[in-house]
C-alpha cells in the first residue's frame, strides 16, 4: 500500500507533507497579490512625523485593543464613518487592522477627534471617557520619538517598493539632515495646539515627544 511505503521513506514523506501544505497559500494569496497591493488614486504616503507616530502606535501596541477596519455594516458606518477600502492600506507596512476591539475602531479617528482631545485623553482616559478601562500613556509626553528611524523607513519603502516619496528622500545622512527641519515644523504645528508646556519646550529645542508624533498619526487616520 502506498502509505505503508511512504511511512518507511522519510524523505518522500516530508516531501509529500510539503506539497500538501503549500497548496492553500499558492492558490489563496499569490494570484491576487498585485491587485491587492494597489493604492487608491490619490493616496499619499505618510509624512515622516506620521510614520514616527505609527512607530509609537506599534511600540505601545495600540492595535491589541483598537482595530483599523470598518466593516461594511450600517452599525459600523454609523459609528465610525465610511467602510474601509483595500486601496487605503496600500502603503501600510505592516497593516494594523487589529483583531480585537476592546476600544473603538480608529481607522477614521482623524475625522472626529482633535489634537487637544487626544492630549487630554492619553494623559487620563477615564477623565475624558468615564468608565474607560484604557490605561494612561503619560510616558509618551516625556519619551522622545525616533524620527530618524521613521525617515530611514520612508527611504527604504521608496527604494524597495516605489512608494511615492519625493526626490529629496535619499539614503544619505546629509539628505536626512536636510529633511529634519521639515519634520520639526510639522511637529510644531501639532505642539501649537497642545497645552503641555514640557512638550512645547521639547519641540522648540528640536526634539519630538512621542505624543506629538502619535497625534500626528492619529490625525492622519481619515
Partner 1 sequence: MQSNAALEYDYSLAKKFTFLTILFGILGMLVGTLIAAQMAFPELNYLLGEYGTFSRLRPIHTNTVIFGFTVSGIFATWFYLGQRVLKVSIAESKFLMVIGNIQFWLYFVGALAATISLLFGVSSSKEYAQYEWPFDIVVVIVWVLWGVGMMGLIGIRREKALYISVWYYLACFLGIAMLYLFNNMAIPTYFATEGLGSILNSVSMYSGTNDALVQWWYGHNAVAFGFTVPIVGMIYYFLPKESGQAIYSYKLSLLSFWGLMFVYLWAGSHHLLWSTVPDWMQTMGSAFSIVLILPSWGSAINMLLTMKGEWNQLTDNPLIKFMVLASTFYMLSTIEGPIQAIRSVNAIAHFTDWIPGHVHDGTLGWVTFMIMAAIFHMAPRMFKREIYSRKLMEAQFWLQTTAVVLYFTSMWIAGITQGMMWRAVDEYGNLMYSFIDTVTVLHPYYAIRALSGVMYFIGFLMFAWNIYKTMTAGKELTQEPQFRTPMA
Pick the piece of the chain touching partner 1 (CB under 8 A) from 22-30, 113-121, 200-208, 212-220.
22-30
108 is a contact residue toward partner 1 (CB under 8 A): no
Q: Which is nearer to partner 1, 161 or 204 (CB)?
A: 161
**The cell 482623524 sits on which residue?**
110
**Is the separation of the CB atoms in 199 and 39 below 8 Å?**
no
Q: Which stretch binds partner 1 (CB under 8 A): 64-72, 116-124, 193-201, 211-219?
A: 64-72
User: Which residue in the set 12, 14, 112, 206 belongs to the binding site for partner 1 (CB under 8 A)?
Assistant: 14
Rg (CA), the chain: 22
Q: Does 41 bind partner 1 (CB under 8 A)?
A: no
40 binds partner 1 (CB under 8 A): no
Q: Can you tell me the distance from the alpha carbon of 216 to that of 192, in angstroms, rounded to the nearest whole number?
A: 12
Output the CA–CA distances (angstroms, integers) from residue 62 to 58, 167, 207, 215, 218, in the order listed.
6, 32, 23, 13, 11
Under 8 Å between Cβ of 124 and 136: yes
Cβ proximity to partner 1, 143 vs 220, nearer residue: 143
Binding mask 175-194 for partner 1 (x = CB under 8 A): -x------------------
Asked if 7 is part of the footprint of partner 1 (rule: CB under 8 A), the reply reads: yes
Position 114 contacts partner 1 (CB under 8 A): no
User: Does the protein bind partner 1 through residue 59 (CB under 8 A)?
Assistant: yes
Please say which residue, 85 or 204, places its beta carbon nearer to partner 1: 85
Sign of the alpha-carbon torsion through 146, 148, 151, 155:
negative
3-state secondary structure of 107: coil
Q: CA distances (Å), 93 to each of 12, 55, 96, 185, 215, in order?
A: 38, 11, 8, 25, 19
Closest approach, Cβ 181 to partner 1, in A, equals 16
Amino acid at each position: 500500500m502506498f502509505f505503508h511505503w511512504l511511512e518507511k521513506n522519510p524523505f518522500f514523506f516530508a516531501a509529500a507533507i510539503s506539497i500538501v501544505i503549500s497548496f492553500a497559500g499558492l492558490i489563496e494569496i499569490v494570484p491576487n497579490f498585485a491587485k491587492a497591493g494597489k493604492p487608491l488614486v490619490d493616496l499619499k504616503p505618510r509624512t515622516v512625523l506620521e510614520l514616527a507616530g505609527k512607530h509609537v502606535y506599534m511600540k505601545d501596541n495600540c492595535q491589541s485593543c483598537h482595530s483599523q477596519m470598518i466593516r461594511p455594516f450600517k452599525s459600523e458606518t454609523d459609528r465610525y464613518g465610511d467602510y474601509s477600502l483595500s486601496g487605503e492600506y496600500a502603503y501600510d507596512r505592516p497593516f494594523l487592522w487589529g483583531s480585537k476591539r476592546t476600544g473603538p475602531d480608529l481607522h477614521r479617528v482623524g475625522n472626529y477627534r482633535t489634537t487637544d482631545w487626544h492630549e487630554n485623553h492619553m494623559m487620563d482616559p477615564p477623565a475624558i471617557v468615564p468608565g474607560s478601562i484604557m490605561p494612561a500613556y503619560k510616558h509618551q509626553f516625556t519619551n522622545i520619538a525616533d524620527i530618524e528611524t521613521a525617515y530611514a523607513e520612508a527611504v527604504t519603502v521608496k527604494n524597495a517598493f516605489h512608494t511615492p516619496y519625493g526626490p529629496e528622500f535619499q539614503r544619505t545622512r546629509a539628505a536626512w539632515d536636510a529633511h529634519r527641519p521639515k519634520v520639526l515644523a510639522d511637529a510644531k504645528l501639532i505642539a501649537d495646539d497642545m497645552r503641555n508646556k514640557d512638550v512645547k519646550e521639547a519641540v522648540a529645542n528640536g526634539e519630538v515627544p512621542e505624543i506629538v508624533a502619535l497625534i500626528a498619526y492619529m490625525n492622519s487616520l481619515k
